[in-house]
Chains A and B, each alone.
Chain A
Amino acid sequence: MHGTPRRTTLLWAALLVATLLTWWVGEDGATGPAIVALLAVISIVKGSIIILDFMALRHAPLMWRLITLGWISLVWVLIGLAYWKGLSQ
């Protein structure tokens, strides 16, 4: 139900590496639609690990995966739309 310790440790290491990447992008000062898309993808991948593996929704009825994965995707679509709106001003 909650996976093996080895798998969990590998996922944790991947989450930390992804965090380092997000931080590095911030320090580098890079910007633009491609960078925002990259940050969105990193956040969605990290969120999916939390949702599917840490919250163990991989083993939950489909509806719960649709709601939670749909939530994180929708939030990033809204952030992307707002970013695009800001660019065109």
Chain B
Amino acid sequence: MLRDTTCPESRLVALRFPRLMGMNTRSLASPLPARHPVTEYRLAGDLAIWFFILAELLAFGVFFAAYAFTRANHIELFNAEQHALHRGAGAINTALLLTASYFVVRAVQAAERSAAAISARWLLGAIACGGGFVVVKLIEYSAAFEEGVSLSSSPFHMFYLSLTFFHFMHVILGMVILAALWQGARKGRYHPGDMNGIETGAAYWHMVDLVWLILFPLVYVIH
């Protein structure tokens, strides 16, 4: 025999706070179609990527706090060694990541219009910007290594290398994901009827961009 297993308390909460719960108010309030358009709140992309993004944000957040509080005990050392960093390279890389993110949004918007070829082109542009980031970072690393910077040369260098390299690996993974999206876009997989794949990959790339927006001022500028 079938039974209604809906918990009455959770149904009440959902009725009172539908936006918080991510519920469609129309289906909760009345089985009849609403007279006025009802705003439906939804996540862009797969729910699983968002749990993954939260885990990533937590890890980067802990890392940023560890940097900041270690710096508080070694101010002069951190200020002197930070001064030797190339802020221009950091700023160029910020612009490259932001531009890649912009291109990814344009690719998603093109897919929403069923313009698969245009979507693929924007994604290729985003991959190129990611490649630019990798090249600038490698030049920056090689210059640092020539100056004797290593994980064990100082607390600042340990944080600088581990934080930026941790992020660098995320950029590499992000480029692999963008390449997969590019392939999918070329085959016309993303359209208004199925945006899940491109929205999921796009969310990951934006996360990579988002954490850099804290990393750049924190490690390259604040002293």
Report the interface size for chain A: residues with CB under 8 A from the other chain: 55
Minimum Cβ distance to chain B for residue A28 (Å): 10
Q: Select the residue from B19, B105, B108 with max chain A CB neighbours within 10 A.
A: B105
**What residues of chain B lie closer than 8 Å to A64, measured between beta carbons?**
22, 43, 50
CA of A83 to CA of B67 in the docked complex: distance in angstroms? Answer: 11
The CA-CA distance from A81 to B50 in the complex, in Å, is 29
List chain A residues, Cβ under 8 A from B21.
61, 63
Taking a contact as CB atoms under 8 Å apart, the answer to whether A63 and B220 are in contact is no
Residue from A54, A74, A79 in contact with B206 in the complex, judged by beta carbons closer than 8 Å: A54
- Whether B109 contacts A19 by the Cβ 8 Å rule is no
Question: Which residues of chain B have a CB within 8 Å of any CB of chain A?
Answer: 19-22, 41-44, 50, 54, 57, 61, 64-65, 68-69, 71-73, 75, 87-88, 90-91, 94-95, 98-99, 101-102, 104-106, 108-109, 112, 199, 202-203, 206-207, 209-210, 213-214, 216-218, 220-223
Please state if B61 and A74 are interface contacts (CB–CB under 8 Å).
yes
Cα A72 to Cα B64 with chains together (Å): 11
- A60: contacting residue among B44, B104, B223, CB under 8 A: B44
**In the complex, what residue of chain B is closest to A12 when comparing beta carbons?**
B102
Interface class of chain A by DSSP: helix
How far apart are the CA atoms of A25 and B72 in the complex, in Å?
21
- A2-B112, A55-B44 known; A27 and B54 CB under 8 Å? no
Write the nearest CB–CB distance from A23 to chain B, whole angstroms.
Answer: 4
| Cβ contacts under 8 Å, A25 to chain B | 221
On whether the beta carbons of B72 and A85 are closer than 8 Å, the reply is yes
Shortest 3 CB-CB distances between A and B: which pairs?
A61-B22, A82-B68, A23-B91
20 examples of A-B residue contacts, CB within 8 angstroms? A2-B108, A3-B105, A4-B109, A5-B106, A12-B102, A25-B221, A26-B217, A39-B222, A43-B213, A54-B101, A55-B210, A56-B199, A59-B42, A61-B21, A71-B57, A72-B210, A72-B214, A81-B68, A85-B69, A86-B73
Residues of A within 8 A of B112 (CB): 1-2
Binary per-residue interface labels of chain A (67-83) against chain B in the complex, 1 for a CB within 8 Å, 0 otherwise = 11001101110110111
